[in-house]
């Protein structure tokens, strides 16, 4: 890595803010790829384009941003690329981004997060550097906002890191509690939390590729499990994995699921469900279940983010929300993961 950055700090921070916002808009829509954003700067630090990877099989963020420059006839002014994730150096469903960058006038490439895939970590940056491009880690700016932007970029790919290094989806447990600590709603009600908490619950659903629940919840609530309160960029179906050893969930419920954009499946154990979800490219699953299944996830220490929404007492005041996140740490078998961070 070349130690000192050439362009000034503020355009880099501003460009990364745009790139991260662009990528965050497609969280929940890109699996099995991670969300990625890219901003292109000219030599004066002016933003020429910002783009995000929107869906697997479509252009990666770097290629999309370069294409925007071509369309706007600013391609020859390209000087610096800011990418939230290290550009890929391998052929997947689309050509390697490194080649697209090398075919552009970009001289300098800034990277927020390194590629977590042990097979390719460092490969994209190394190839760019070997071809005479300057490559910098955003963290090397040594700036407090840069550190915060790197944290956002690392969080953005945390489900992808979890899936690619642990072989299971990132698990978010959502647990709503009444003011006296119960998970079961009062008779006749399906929920007891505030409108803001329901918005949060739907934003957690929106970012997940799958919902995991238990037969007890399906039988008690007949839940829709759709994203209704926030915009949802997802175009394909979301998985709905139901833990139901006794097969109590009705065929009618399962038949209606696809009409709501859900691909439902029944499972006999948590490990079996997680393996099945991971095999179909589910990067993140939201666990929305009752107390029995939730206890099993907690007992097995199977969670990456635990969101506890506690109803305020007296009702009507803002709920108390507690979010505990465990960002994946480097796997000892793959020491390249997140090096330099």
Ligand X SMILES: NC(=O)c1ccc[n+]([C@@H]2O[C@H](COP(=O)([O-])OP(=O)(O)OC[C@H]3O[C@@H](n4cnc5c(N)ncnc54)[C@H](OP(=O)(O)O)[C@@H]3O)[C@@H](O)[C@H]2O)c1
Q: Which residues of this protein are in contact with ligand X, per CB under 6 A?
A: 175-176, 183-185, 213-217, 220-221, 243-246, 248, 270, 288-293, 296
Contact (CB, 8 A) for 41 and 82: yes
DSSP per-residue string spanning 147-209: HHHHHHHHHHHHHHHHHHHHSS-EEEEEEEE-TTS--SPPTT-S--S-HHHHHHHHHHHHH-S
**Least distance from ligand X to the Cβ atom of residue 251, Å:** 16
When the beta carbons of 219 and 327 are compared against ligand X, the nearer one is: 219
Strands 262-267, 238-243: parallel, antiparallel or unpaired by DSSP? parallel
Tell me, rounded to whole angstroms, the distance of Cα 339 from its chain centroid: 20
When the beta carbons of 89 and 215 are compared against ligand X, the nearer one is: 215
When the beta carbons of 112 and 243 are compared against ligand X, the nearer one is: 243
Q: Which of 14, 62, 145, 148 is catalytic?
A: 62
**Least distance from ligand X to the Cβ atom of residue 267, Å:** 8
Please measure the distance between the N-terminal and C-terminal CA atoms of the chain and give it in whole angstroms: 13
**Least distance from ligand X to the Cβ atom of residue 253, Å:** 13
When the beta carbons of 53 and 306 are compared against ligand X, the nearer one is: 306
Query: Which CA distances in Å does 311 have to 176, 185, 266, 276, 316?
Result: 8, 11, 31, 34, 9
**Least distance from ligand X to the Cβ atom of residue 280, Å:** 20
**Least distance from ligand X to the Cβ atom of residue 241, Å:** 11
Rounded to whole angstroms, how far apart are CA atoms 246 and 264?
Answer: 16
DSSP per-residue string spanning 52-63: E--STTS--HHH
**Least distance from ligand X to the Cβ atom of residue 94, Å:** 39
DSSP 215: H
Burial letters 316-325, b for 16+ CB under 10 A, else e: eeebeeeeee
When the beta carbons of 141 and 287 are compared against ligand X, the nearer one is: 287
Query: Which CA distances in Å does 32 have to 106, 227, 330?
Result: 28, 20, 20
Q: Which residues pair with 141 in a beta bridge?
A: none
Rounded to whole angstroms, how far apart are CA atoms 16 and 156?
Answer: 13
When the beta carbons of 176 and 285 are compared against ligand X, the nearer one is: 176
62 is catalytic: yes
**Least distance from ligand X to the Cβ atom of residue 326, Å:** 20
CA dihedral 138, 161, 24, 115 (to 10 degrees): 40
When the beta carbons of 74 and 191 are compared against ligand X, the nearer one is: 191
Contact (CB, 8 A) for 329 and 339: no
Contact (CB, 8 A) for 305 and 77: no
Q: Catalytic amino acids? A: 62
């Amino acid at each position: 890595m070349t130690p000192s950055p050439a362009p000034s700090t503020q355009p880099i921070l501003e460009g990364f803010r745009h790139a991260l916002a662009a990528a965050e808009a497609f969280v929940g829509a890109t699996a099995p790829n991670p969300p990625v954003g890219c901003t292109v700067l000219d030599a004066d630090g002016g933003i020429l384009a910002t783009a995000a990877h929107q869906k697997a099989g479509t252009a990666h963020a770097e290629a999309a941003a370069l294409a925007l420059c071509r369309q706007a006839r600013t391609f020859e002014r390209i000087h610096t690329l800011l990418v939230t994730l290290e550009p890929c150096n391998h052929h997947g469903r689309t050509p390697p981004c490194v080649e697209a960058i090398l075919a552009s006038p970009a001289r300098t490439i800034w990277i927020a997060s390194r590629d977590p895939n042990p097979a390719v970590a460092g490969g994209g940056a190394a190839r760019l550097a070997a071809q005479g491009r300057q490559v910098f880690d955003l963290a090397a700016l040594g700036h407090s906002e840069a550190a915060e932007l790197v944290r956002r970029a690392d969080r953005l790919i945390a489900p992808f890191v979890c899936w690619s290094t642990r072989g299971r989806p990132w698990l978010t447990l959502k647990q709503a509690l009444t003011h006296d600590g119960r998970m079961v709603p009062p008779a006749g009600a399906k929920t007891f939390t505030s409108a803001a908490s329901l918005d949060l619950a739907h934003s957690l659903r929106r970012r997940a590729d799958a919902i995991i629940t238990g037969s007890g919840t399906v039988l008690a609530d007949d839940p829709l499990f759709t994203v209704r309160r926030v915009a949802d960029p997802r175009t394909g179906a979301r998985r709905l994995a139901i833990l139901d050893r006794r097969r109590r969930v009705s065929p009618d419920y399962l038949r209606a699921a696809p009409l709501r954009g859900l691909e439902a499946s029944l499972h006999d154990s948590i490990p079996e469900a997680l393996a099945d979800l991971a095999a179909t490219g589910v990067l993140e699953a939201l666990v929305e279940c009752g107390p029995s299944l939730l206890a099993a996830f907690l007992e097995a220490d199977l969670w990456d983010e635990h969101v506890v929404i506690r109803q305020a007492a007296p009702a009507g005041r803002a709920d108390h929300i507690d979010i505990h996140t465990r960002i994946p740490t480097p796997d000892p078998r793959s020491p390249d993961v997140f090096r330099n961070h």
